[in-house]
Structure 1
Amino acid sequence: MLQPQVKTKLSLVALLIASSMLTACGDSTTNIVEKDPIAVDDEHDHGDDHDHDHGEISTAGRLVISAKDSNLVSVYELKDGSLLDTFAVADTPSALAASPAKRYALVVQRTTDRVEFVDGGLFQEDHVDHLHVYQQAPELTNFVLSDSRPTHITATDSQLAVFFDGDAASSAPAAVAVITEADITTDSNGYPVLNYSINMHGAAQARGDYLISTIRDTESATTLPDKVAVYEQHGDHYHQEQAFDELCPGLHGSAQNEHFIAFGCTDGVLLVEQDGVTFTASKLVNTADFSGTMRIGTLVGTEHAEHFVGFAGASMFAIHAEDGEMELVDWQSSEGAGVIGYGFADHGEKFVLLDNQGYLTILSYHGHEHEAANVGEVEQPAFEFAAKVQLTTADISTMPAGSRFELAISASDDKVYVLNPIDSSLLTVDIGDGEVVATKQLNFTPHKLVWLGIAEAAEAHDH
Structure 2
Amino acid sequence: MAWQHTFSSALGLSVFLVLSGCGGSSTEIVERDPVEDHSDDPDHQDEHDSAHGDAPETKGRLLVAAYDEAEVVLYDLDDGDELAHYEMNNPASAVYASANHRFGVVLQRDADEVNAVDSGLIREYHDDHWDYTITSPSFADFSAPGPRPTHFTTGGERSVIFYDGNADLGEAAQVGVFSEADLADNSGGQWLTLDTHQHGAARQFGDFLFATVRDANDESTTLPDQVARYHWHDGEYELEQTFDTLCPGLHGSAQWHHGVAFGCTDGVLVIHEENGEFVGEKIANPEGFEGRIGSLYGMSEGDVLVGIASGELHLIDPEAGTMEPLDWRGDVERTAISYGFDAEGEHFLVLDSTGDLIRLEIVDGWAAREPIDAVTSDLSGLAEDLRPVMSVSHASHLVYITDPVANSVVEVDLESGAVETVLNLDVTPAKVAWLGFEGAFEHDHEH
Matches within 5 A, 1:150-165: 150-165=149-164
| Matching of residue 390 in structure 1 with residue 373 in structure 2 | yes
Q: CA deviation at 1:289?
A: 4.8
Q: CA deviation at 1:360?
A: 0.9
Which residue does the alignment assign to 1:452?
A: 435
**Alpha carbons of structure 1 residues 193 and 138: separation in structure 2 relative to 1, 3 Å:** same
Q: CA deviation at 1:40?
A: 5.8
Unaligned runs of 5+ in 1: 1-7, 23-31, 367-379, 458-463
User: Amino acid of the residue matched to residue 204 of structure 1?
Assistant: A
Question: Secondary structure at 1:250's aligned position in 2?
Answer: coil
From 354, 361, 373, the counterpart of 1:364: 361
Larger strand proportion, structure 1 or 2?
2
Superposition RMSD on alpha carbons, in Å?
Answer: 2.5
**Alpha carbons of structure 1 residues 346 and 229: separation in structure 2 relative to 1, 3 Å:** closer
Within 2, Cα distance between the matches of 1:97 and 1:299?
A: 17
Question: Secondary structure at 1:183's aligned position in 2?
Answer: helix
Partners of 2:55 and 2:438 within 8 A in 1:
no
Partners of 1:67 and 1:448 within 8 A in 2:
yes
Matches within 5 A, 1:152-231: 152-189=151-188, 191-220=189-218, 221-231=220-230
Within 2, Cα distance between the matches of 1:396 and 1:83?
A: 25
Within 2, Cα distance between the matches of 1:55 and 1:208?
A: 26
Q: CA deviation at 1:128?
A: 2.6
Which residue does the alignment assign to 1:315?
A: 312
Matches within 5 A, 1:77-92: 77-92=76-91
> Matched residues, percent identical?
36
Which residue does the alignment assign to 2:347?
A: 350
Partners of 1:400 and 1:421 within 8 A in 2:
no
Q: CA deviation at 1:257?
A: 1.3
| Matching of residue 407 in structure 1 with residue 406 in structure 2 | no
Which residue does the alignment assign to 1:370?
A: none
| Matching of residue 39 in structure 1 with residue 37 in structure 2 | yes
Which residue does the alignment assign to 2:21?
A: 10
**TM-score (normalised: structure 2):** 0.86
User: Per-residue displacement from partner, 1:34-66 (whole Å, max 9, x unpaired)?
Assistant: 22364362599xxxx969xx9994521100011
**Alpha carbons of structure 1 residues 335 and 55: separation in structure 2 relative to 1, 3 Å:** closer
Bigger shift: residues 395-404 or 194-203: 395-404
Within 1, Cα distance between the matches of 2:89 and 2:105?
A: 13
Q: CA deviation at 1:447?
A: 1.3
Partners of 1:259 and 1:275 within 8 A in 2:
no
Within 2, Cα distance between the matches of 1:168 and 1:336?
A: 40
User: Per-residue displacement from partner, 1:300-346 (whole Å, max 9, x unpaired)?
Assistant: 11112111110002110111111111111111268553322211114
| Matching of residue 339 in structure 1 with residue 336 in structure 2 | yes
User: Amino acid of the residue matched to residue 131 of structure 1?
Assistant: W
Unaligned runs of 5+ in 2: 1-18, 441-447
Tell me which stretches of 4 or more aligned residues in structure 1 moved more than 4 Å. 54-58, 333-336
Within 2, Cα distance between the matches of 1:166 and 1:78?
A: 37
User: Per-residue displacement from partner, 1:372-425 (whole Å, max 9, x unpaired)?
Assistant: xxxxxxxx62x2212311223433222145311111110110000111111212
Partners of 1:67 and 1:444 within 8 A in 2:
yes
Matches within 5 A, 1:41-60: 41-42=39-40, 57-60=56-59
**Alpha carbons of structure 1 residues 255 and 50: separation in structure 2 relative to 1, 3 Å:** closer
**Alpha carbons of structure 1 residues 111 and 385: separation in structure 2 relative to 1, 3 Å:** same
**Alpha carbons of structure 1 residues 275 and 84: separation in structure 2 relative to 1, 3 Å:** farther
Q: CA deviation at 1:84?
A: 0.8
**Alpha carbons of structure 1 residues 289 and 317: separation in structure 2 relative to 1, 3 Å:** farther
| Matching of residue 300 in structure 1 with residue 297 in structure 2 | yes
Which residue does the alignment assign to 1:64?
A: 63
Q: Which has the larger radius of gyration?
A: 1
| Matching of residue 239 in structure 1 with residue 234 in structure 2 | no
Bigger shift: residues 257-266 or 441-450: 441-450
**Alpha carbons of structure 1 residues 252 and 333: separation in structure 2 relative to 1, 3 Å:** farther
User: Per-residue displacement from partner, 1:337-357 (whole Å, max 9, x unpaired)?
Assistant: 332221111411111111222
Within 1, Cα distance between the matches of 2:168 and 2:179?
A: 31
Within 2, Cα distance between the matches of 1:333 and 1:107?
A: 37
Within 1, Cα distance between the matches of 2:202 and 2:113?
A: 18
Within 2, Cα distance between the matches of 1:337 and 1:165?
A: 32
User: Per-residue displacement from partner, 1:76-96 (whole Å, max 9, x unpaired)?
Assistant: 111111111111223110100
**Alpha carbons of structure 1 residues 181 and 80: separation in structure 2 relative to 1, 3 Å:** same
User: Amino acid of the residue matched to residue 360 of structure 1?
Assistant: L
- Higher RCO (CA < 8 A, seq sep 6+): 2
**Alpha carbons of structure 1 residues 40 and 276: separation in structure 2 relative to 1, 3 Å:** farther
**TM-score (normalised: structure 1):** 0.84
Within 1, Cα distance between the matches of 2:437 and 2:377?
A: 34
User: Amino acid of the residue matched to residue 373 of structure 2?
Assistant: Q
Within 2, Cα distance between the matches of 1:389 and 1:312?
A: 24
